[in-house]
């Protein structure tokens, strides 16, 4: 029998603060896959590493900024997009990526998500959607599916969740994609596309949270959500955006894909043109 | 104190029954017994288990209330304010950054006279990120028009939560109230709690009788523009209510002690010898730890006591002047700071004792969750013994 192949360093290690490892994420958590796709996308982007900045908020996904060996800022709950907006204004040369969760970006920080999309400011938002607040132990968030059990909806959630791609389209985002963490290559390619895209990019990464969400619902074991993603993901290029609500019902499909991209004047151009038009001197 | 037969048969308090509850459970169970009608809540470590317990109590029918899992702490406080303005008894819980994010609404609830009760699980403020206890979050709401009371253990937290509704809703007070417990040290550590019963709480705590409320049969407008003369009058009225609250808190504590035999003190709790060389002043679990320290030192021939601040707002200025006479020196152990000045408790003491010559020494200890055990408090007391004043 051949001995197993071992390598000294994982290929992603060079973008990680390995001194902070092992990470605190649970076995079976999808967050590692998101970090991995993001770091591979950085490798492929051709953009110097020191031009990449990562900003995160609060929650398990907020740890992303601590584990990535990039300039990073772990901001307060819900505020990474507002913080990233200021960062981008101060230094438009930077490739600013926000990695945070559904609770952080679409619930407590939902206002900033829609306003950054409205401005079409050139930020990359990777929203890791695990359908609950993971870090505090699995309470309902704005993406918790209708009927799903959480620790604040023990009999099932009677609130309707956000359909995030639809919300983002309505708010003005000009690049919208969704993958599960199982779609590693596609996720990575959408992130690369976000780096290239001139305007607000929104990439939703559906991710298992076996501890906070899975075991209370139909996904008892960590692997069950991944099996579900494997069996029920449907690729659609041009879906009806109103139909993209996710119910995490084992009998329902999960629509994934590069949903939308358009060229629309991004924030800085819009500002320059406006001041040019009114004859002002705003640079 | 009434006879134990009275306590058992009339109040249906079963003193043989002891639960092992965390501080969060102790607060949640008392909140449930207090029958709040609207709860709007948002999770944050270390107070999340309180709101989880309330949401399940509502879902399993034990508590007849509206529970809404809102999108932020700002929305949580806004939600309970709406409920309170409509005449409902309201409750929520938070901690640390959550309290800061709620702060605009915290001030509104205080200045707007909405007698909400909140379980505040004290936790330090970021950055650097820390989930552990100190009192900086509580100090941040010092001037927001809230009554602020601190428990030293899970039993007191349980008892205080019920008392808080009674004090807050008293027509002479009519202010929101925060029941503070130390994060993790109490919130997540289980200890013995003798539970109150529904019968007891129903008798002890009358149902909420709002002085004013949004009522379509008698329309009123809240939050209108206020001209300077009226504004100043409203603030004076707020201050008068805080002064009246001193007596109400004391009376409610006394009534509770007579019924249950559990006497936690009035605005302060004095522990140890009648008069002593040094009084250690602290809040929350540090004060209970200080009790251990002084017991140990007194056994070794020292003469030390503890003055625990239970009510930080209103601050027990008069009580402090009364008891301070009994001590040669005061040692304040503060779990928070006021940067650029003396610590919050020190400022209060210097104000209360203005014109006296009792020396006050302060040590900031236990911030960011730094563990403080009785031996460290003993060491500090020994130091203060040696210091020339
Ligand atoms: S709680 Fe959920 S999101 Fe957080 S680390 Fe665990 S699996 Fe991941």
Give the start-end residues of each E strand in B5-163. 19-21, 38-41, 66-69, 90-94, 117-122, 147-150
Closest CA to A162 of A222, A223, A117: A117
Distances B219 to B38, B87, B387 between C-alpha atoms, Å: 21, 13, 63
| Residue ranges of domains in chain B, CATH in brackets | 13-260 (3.40.50.970), 268-386 (3.40.50.920)
In a mutagenesis test of the A interface, which of B43, B77, B92 is the best target, namely the one with the most A β-carbons within 10 Å?
Answer: B43
Ligand 1 atom with minimal separation from the A222 CA: 7
Interior/surface letters B77-96, b for 16+ CB within 10 angstroms, e for the rest = bbbbbebbbeebbbbbbbbb
Residues of A in contact with B43 (CB under 8 A): 133, 136-137, 139, 152
Ligand 1 atom with minimal separation from the A61 CA: 3
CA distance A281 to A267: 17
Give the pairing of strands A124-129 and B360-364.
unpaired
Q: Per residue of chain B (389 residues), what is the pLDDT tens digit? A: 555 666 666 677 887 899 999 999 999 999 999 999 999 999 999 999 999 999 999 999 999 999 999 999 999 999 999 999 999 999 999 999 999 999 999 999 999 999 999 999 999 999 999 999 999 999 999 999 999 999 999 999 999 999 999 999 999 999 999 999 999 999 999 999 999 999 999 999 999 999 999 999 999 888 889 999 999 999 999 999 999 999 999 999 999 999 999 999 999 999 999 999 999 999 999 999 999 999 999 999 999 999 999 999 999 999 999 999 999 999 999 999 999 999 999 999 999 999 999 999 999 999 999 999 999 999 999 999 998 77
Closest CA to B144 of B104, B116, B171: B104
pLDDT score for A116: 98
Name the pTM for this structure: 0.94
Closest CA to A20 of A99, A74, A75, A96: A74
CB half-sphere exposure, B169, CA atoms < 13 A: 25
Distances B214 to B82, B89, B91 between C-alpha atoms, Å: 9, 14, 18
Shortest CB distance from B56 goes to which of A74, A108, A154? A154
- For residue B208, the 8-state DSSP code is P
Tell me which fold the domain A26-278 belongs to. Rossmann fold (3.40.50)
Contacts of A251 (CB under 8 A, 6+ apart): none
Closest CA to A145 of A249, A226, A216, A220: A249
> Complex ipTM, two decimals?
0.90
Bridge partner list, A74: A56
3-state secondary structure of B283: coil
**Quick check: B62 contacting A, CB < 8 Å?**
no
CA distance A270 to B227: 43
pLDDT score for A282: 55
Shortest CB distance from A155 goes to which of B42, B52, B59? B59
Residues of A in contact with B45 (CB under 8 A): 135-136
CA distance A63 to A71: 14
In a mutagenesis test of the B interface, which of A133, A139, A154 is the best target, namely the one with the most B β-carbons within 10 Å?
Answer: A139
To the nearest whole angstrom, how far is the Cα of B63 from the nearest Cα of chain A? 14
Q: Pick left, alpha or beta for residue A63 (phi over 0 → left; psi -120 to 50 → alpha; otherwise beta).
A: alpha
Q: Output the DSSP codes for B23-36.
A: HHHHHHHHHHHT--
Closest CA to B92 of B57, B129, B67: B67
Contact A158, A145 (CB under 8 A): no
3-state secondary structure of B372: coil
Distances A58 to A134, B43, B47, B110 between C-alpha atoms, Å: 10, 12, 16, 28
């Amino acid at each position: 029998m051949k001995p197993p192949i071992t390598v000294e360093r994982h290929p992603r290690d060079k973008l990680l603060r390995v001194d902070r490892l092992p990470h605190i994420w649970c076995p079976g958590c999808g967050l590692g896959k998101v970090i991995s796709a993001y770091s591979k996308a950085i490798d492929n982007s051709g953009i110097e590493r020191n031009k990449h900045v990562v900003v995160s908020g609060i929650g398990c996904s907020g740890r992303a900024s601590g584990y990535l060996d990039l300039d990073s800022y772990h901001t307060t709950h819900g505020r990474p997009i507002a913080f990233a907006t200021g960062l981008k204004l101060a230094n438009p040369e930077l490739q600013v990526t926000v990695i945070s969760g559904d609770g952080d970006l679409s619930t407590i920080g939902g206002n900033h998500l829609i306003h950054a999309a409205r401005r079409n400011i050139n930020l990359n938002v990777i929203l890791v959607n695990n359908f609950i607040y993971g870090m505090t132990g699995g309470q309902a968030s704005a993406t918790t599916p209708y009927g799903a059990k959480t620790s604040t909806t023990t009999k099932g959630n009677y609130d309707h969740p956000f359909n995030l791609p639809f919300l983002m389209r309505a708010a003005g985002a000009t690049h919208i994609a969704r993958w599960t963490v199982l779609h590693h290559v596609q996720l990575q390619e959408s992130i690369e596309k976000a780096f290239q895209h001139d305007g607000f990019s929104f990439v939703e990464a559906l991710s298992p949270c076996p501890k906070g969400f899975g075991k209370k619902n139909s996904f008892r074991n960590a692997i069950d959500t991944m099996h579900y993603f494997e069996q029920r993901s449907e690729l659609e290029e041009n879906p009806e955006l109103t139909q993209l609500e996710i119910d995490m019902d084992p009998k329902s499909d999960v629509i994934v894909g590069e949903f939308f991209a358009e060229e629309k004047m991004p924030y800085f151009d819009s500002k320059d043109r406006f001041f040019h038009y009114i004859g002002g001197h705003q640079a | 104190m009434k006879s134990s037969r009275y306590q058992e048969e009339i109040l249906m308090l079963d003193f043989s029954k002891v639960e092992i509850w965390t501080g969060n459970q102790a607060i949640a169970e008392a909140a449930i017994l207090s029958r709040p009608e609207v709860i709007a809540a948002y999770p944050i470590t270390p107070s999340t288990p309180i709101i989880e317990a309330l949401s399940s109590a509502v879902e399993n029918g034990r508590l007849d209330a509206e529970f809404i899992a809102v999108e932020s702490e700002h929305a949580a406080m806004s939600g309970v304010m709406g409920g309170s303005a409509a005449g409902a008894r309201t409750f929520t819980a938070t901690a640390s950054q959550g309290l800061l994010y709620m702060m605009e609404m915290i001030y509104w609830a205080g200045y707007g006279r909405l007698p909400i009760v909140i379980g505040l699980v004290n936790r330090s403020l970021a950055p650097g990120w820390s989930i552990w206890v100190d009192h900086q979050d509580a100090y941040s709401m010092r001037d927001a028009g809230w009554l602020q009371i601190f428990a030293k253990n899970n039993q007191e937290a349980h008892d205080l939560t019920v008392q808080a509704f009674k004090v807050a809703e008293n027509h002479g007070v009519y202010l929101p109230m925060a029941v503070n417990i130390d994060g993790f040290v109490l919130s997540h550590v289980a200890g013995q709690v003798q539970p109150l019963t529904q019968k007891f709480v129903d008798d002890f705590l009358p149902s909420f009788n709002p002085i004013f409320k949004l009522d379509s049969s008698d329309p009123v407008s809240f939050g209108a523009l206020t001209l300077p003369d009226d504004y100043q009058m409203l603030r004076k009225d707020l201050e008068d209510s805080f002064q009246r609250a001193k007596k109400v808190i004391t009376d409610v504590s006394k009534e509770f002690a007579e019924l249950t035999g559990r006497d936690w003190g009035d605005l302060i709790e004095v522990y140890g010898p009648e008069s002593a060389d040094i009084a250690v002043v602290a809040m929350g679990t540090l004060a209970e730890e200080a009790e251990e320290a002084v017991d140990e030192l007194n056994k070794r021939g020292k003469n030390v006591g503890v003055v625990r601040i239970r009510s930080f707002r209103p601050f027990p200025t008069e009580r402090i002047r009364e008891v301070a006479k009994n001590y040669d020196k005061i040692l304040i152990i503060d779990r928070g700071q006021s940067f650029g000045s003396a610590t919050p408790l020190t400022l209060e003491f210097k104000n209360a004792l203005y014109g006296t010559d009792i020396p006050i020494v302060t040590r900031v200890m236990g911030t960011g969750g730094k563990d403080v055990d009785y031996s460290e408090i003993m060491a500090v007391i020994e130091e203060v013994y040696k210091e020339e004043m």
